[in-house]
Amino acid sequence: MKTAHVVRSLLLLALLQPSHLEARRLRGGRAQPRRTHPQPPPPPPPQPRDGAEVTESFPLDFTAVEGNVDSFMAQVKNLAQSLYPCSAQKLDQDMKLRFLQNASVTCNDGTQAGYYLRESKGSKRWLVFLEGGWYCFSKENCDSRYETMRRLMSSTKWPHSKAGTGILSPQPEENPHWWNANMVFIPYCSSDVWSGASPKTDQSDYAFMGSLIIWEVVKELLTQGLDTAKLLLLAGSSAGGTGVLLNVDRVAEQLRELGHTNIQVRGLSDSGWFLDNQQYRWTDCSDTVSCAPTEAIRRGIRYWNGVVPEHCRRAHEGEEWNCFFGYKVYPTLTSPVFVVQWLFDEAQLTVDNVHLTGQPMQEGQWRYIQNLGNELRSTLKDVPAMFGPACLSHELITRSYWMDVQVKGTSLPRALQCWDRSFHDNGKNKAPPKGCPVHLIDSCPWPHCNPTCPTIRDQYTGQEMNVVQFLMHMGFDVQKMAQQQGMDPGKLLGMLSSGS
């Protein structure tokens, strides 16, 4: 009876105070930390009945009270604490570092690979995130990377814990649909777009074992609760987003081979949908950022002993480098994947040698940027689940402002929730519920024509710019563009200001 009273009290508190949660959803900003005061723990709950059915509802992941009181109470307590900071002591919600038990699977320099984990007892959902951070494809540029970006090639100075933001956040106001999932963050230390299967030897200076790191992490997680999961979402940003496309089917096959056929495997690829288009200005391949993506990957896949999805390998036999480009690998995948891609991706522009230095743009550069948006839009038109804002940016799902960006009035967290709801219990896709869109792409033609795009700042002054200031800063000719569109310049400026 005492336990039931506590449950009713906590749920009543949660229902009576929705405004407290909404007030903290500030556009573009992180929620501020709360002060907490200790309180005696609630009385111990009774043990669950033997043989009780366990059910799970979306998205708070509660289990039936009679079947699993312990788990239910823990999750209600977490919810109540997020709404009422004084109701319980603040819990340590950071992800904790664990090194792989298999010491033969390493970072580039031979140090142990590992992962960060935050468990959520009672949740049947796991989110495994692949970090991004470019790549290297020769001894020379890997040596340079090791000198300047050692954190991405070695685990020597990894911190013991890591806070999660965006979709990795444990706070429901920042992460409304995944906050209570089991969170796993795999640091990127293989420099191979998560594709390599090559150990460090006396003949080779570096190991490239990205695909093997993912394999080992999944294998270890099965001993820590993943074996009872219903869903594993493999997510990643930038090189990690491409890594999702390269590994999601492999993870699904790994779990099937180990007998875990009840775990649905899906992918979430953020800012990893690169194009193998012609560069704006050709340069040689002396460094990673100026080398054309096709040439860099051609060299890299040999250097890393890269592994690509089997269906894609068969489709591009002898030219497996094609499988690193989203629009070529995606049609060969069997696992469901949600694609998040800025239409004017800064990393794509960088490898295409379009550098936004703050100087007015040449007309050719401006046309190239517009064409890039059109090309990306074209490659994404047949992807059923995707989110494509017309913004100049890179990476989204781990940003604290990820809830603020909208396409056609729908935010990314909402679109992901709709995508979740579009699956039957057996993992087969069905039509999303009415009024719950999952294919969202901007149609406006210029960078930052979407008014919810992240804030732009002048590179030199640090001052914020609105979209009109930004376009004019880049050399956008309002008079000429209005003439081409057959409209009044003032009307065009008004449309740009409103994001039309």
- Whole-angstrom distance between the N-terminal and C-terminal Cα of the chain? 58
Token output for 223:
């001993």
Query: Under 8 Å CB-to-CB from 328, ≥6 apart: which residues?
Result: 276, 312, 316, 322
**Active-site residue, selected from the candidate residues 270, 345, 404, 442:** 345
**Active-site residue, selected from the candidate residues 260, 394, 439, 448:** 394
Name the phi and psi angles at 348, rounded to 5: -60, -45
Of 237, 141, 221, 223, the closest CA to residue 187 belongs to 237
Token output for 238:
């930038």
Angle at 242 (CA atoms; ends 240, 248), nearest 5 degrees: 90
Angle at 452 (CA atoms; ends 449, 453), nearest 5 degrees: 65
Of 266, 232, 227, 226, the closest CA to residue 249 belongs to 266
**Active-site residue, selected from the candidate residues 123, 195, 211, 238:** 238
d(CA 397, CA 131): 11
Of 239, 268, 247, 218, the closest CA to residue 152 belongs to 239
Neighbouring C-alpha atoms within 13 Å toward the C-beta of 165:
14
The burial class, CB within 10 Å (0-12 / 13-18 / 19+), for 30 is middle
Q: Contact 178/127 with Cβ under 8 angstroms?
A: yes
d(CA 6, CA 488): 65
d(CA 236, CA 267): 9
Query: Under 8 Å CB-to-CB from 468, ≥6 apart: which residues?
Result: 493, 496, 497
5 flagged as catalytic:
no
* Residue whose tokens read 């294998």: 219
335 flagged as catalytic:
no
411 flagged as catalytic:
no
- List, by residue number, the catalytic residues: 238, 345, 394
